[in-house]
Chains A and B, each alone.
Chain A
């Protein structure tokens, strides 16, 4: 386990080094001078402006994938931890990617002779509808609730690890596992907190990045923030759904197996516990698939920030997405 911790700390150090290097390069590069014209902004200047937004998202995804592979390799090598390092891998990787996203500096703006600023305050929740932030928060709360519930109903195994469910009635008792009791639950709660915290930092980075210097790109500036916010929210929601689904699958299976084995009088599985376990076990894969789909959508959006932002601006005004403040 300590090796996994060392690996994650090394990854955190890598985030620090990469962001410091990017900050240093950004400060050393001389600011270009571009004229601020009065007509519409050129396609090349819009492309240039969007390039950084896309690069930042792609670098973060690449980092998360590399971190996932490294942690996966390390966690497979662990024995005796009954899958705990494996369970933490995806959440820690997603958190690492989001942390890198939030720590990469904003690009040096080109000098135009004049700088413009909107007087509308930007908040992390300004670039999406309110429900898009409430849904992942509700999922996180429900997930922590599920972990606490499984923790409270868990029993220790022969090594004292709370990872079994035990049904007992007088002389009869049966147990089943792996069950997400305190043994898995507490680290998973910490991963949930890390995921939520890193997503909040990434959203804060999106809102605090200085606006594009050319006032003709105000709509484009809004669009890249909206798309990036959607990427972060979908990534976080997808990861949470994946965890909730995996946990539900394990918990449901263990409960159903324990209820099926608790067959004292030959009347079949203990009801309604068996039905509840079965239903939860079936819901698990559905949640996992939904989470994977959201992560796929987030990755797809991250790869196409540049074209999506420009494409959305080309649409007629009545088809354009909601403006800033929709969720404020």
Chain B
């Protein structure tokens, strides 16, 4: 399930791209899994088909999915995070939530640590 926030300053295509990309990296969308058609996703999210098409196109450029006219969009192999990375992320999220951090604050902590390394 993905959610499009109409009030968000982030463009709709970017919200779609980001959420699907996250689900693929987290392994929730496995290799070879089919994604809904552009028309279905656009209808459900109440956006133009071009918006979803742009998100899919960027996901394909990033190597996360492959699209074809015959089989639609599918998740490419080997795009999920490694098991240890996923475990570390889960541990970090649990700690962040335990400290009542918002998502932005938690991401800020990662960014800060990333720059120091």
Which A residues are closer than 8 A to B by beta carbons? Answer: 106, 109, 111, 113-122, 208-211, 213, 215, 218
Select from chain A the residue with minimum beta-carbon distance to B6: A113
**CB <8 Å contact, A115 and B4:** yes
Q: Does B46 contact A (CB under 8 A)?
A: yes
**Supplied contacts A113-B6, A115-B45, A117-B45, 7 more A-B pairs, CB within 8 Å:** A115-B3, A115-B47, A116-B2, A118-B1, A118-B36, A119-B36, A209-B43
Determine how close the nearest CB of chain B comes to the CB of A219; give it in whole angstroms: 13
Can you report 8 A-B residue pairs in the complex whose CB atoms are below 8 A from each other?
Answer: A115-B6, A116-B2, A116-B44, A117-B1, A117-B41, A119-B29, A208-B39, A211-B43
- Complex interface: chain A residues within 8 A of B23 (CB): 119
**Interface residue count on the B side (C-beta < 8 Å):** 23
A120–B29 alpha-carbon span in the complex (Å): 10
A41 to chain B, nearest CB (A): 15
Q: What are the residues of chain A within 8 A of B105 when measuring CB–CB?
A: none
Name B's interface SS: mixed
Could you tell me the dominant secondary structure of chain A's interface residues? loop
Cα(A215)–Cα(B2), bound, Å:
10
A109's nearest neighbour on chain B, judged by CB, is B46
Question: Chain B contacts of A210 at CB under 8 A?
Answer: 43-44, 46
Asked if residues A208 and B43 are in contact (CB atoms below 8 Å), the reply is yes
Q: With both chains docked as a complex, state the minimum distance between the C-beta of A124 and any C-beta of chain B, in angstroms.
A: 12
Q: How far is the CA of A213 from the CA of B37 in the complex (A)?
A: 18
Check if A122 sits within 8 Å of B36, measured CB to CB.
yes
Instruction: Give Cα A136 to B10, complex, Å.
Output: 48
Set of chain A residues within 8 Å of B54, measured between Cβ atoms: none
Residues of chain B from 40 to 54 with CB closer than 8 A to chain A in the complex: 40-41, 43-47
CB distance from A115 to the nearest CB of B (A): 5
Chain A, residue nearest B47 (CB): A115
**Which of B4, B40, B46, B72 is close to A208, meaning CB atoms less than 8 Å apart?**
B40
Beta-carbon contact of A120 and B2 below 8 Å: no
- Give the 10 A-B residue pairs with the shortest CB-CB distance, closest first: A117-B44, A210-B43, A121-B36, A115-B45, A115-B4, A211-B44, A115-B46, A117-B45, A121-B34, A116-B3
- Report if B77 contacts A (CB, 8 A): no
Closest chain B CB from A221 CB (angstroms): 10
Which residue of A113, A116, A209 is within 8 Å of B1 (Cβ)? A116
Measured between C-beta atoms, what is the minimum distance from B52 to chain A in Å? Answer: 9
Scoring A122, A210, A215 by chain B CB atoms within 10 A of each residue's CB, the highest score goes to: A210
Q: Which residues of chain B (14-46) have a CB below 8 Å from chain A? A: 20, 23, 29, 34-37, 39-41, 43-46
Q: Please indicate the chain A residues that have their CB under 8 angstroms from the CB of B44 in the complex.
A: 115-118, 210-211
- Hey, which chain A residues are within 8 Å of B4, CB to CB? 114-117
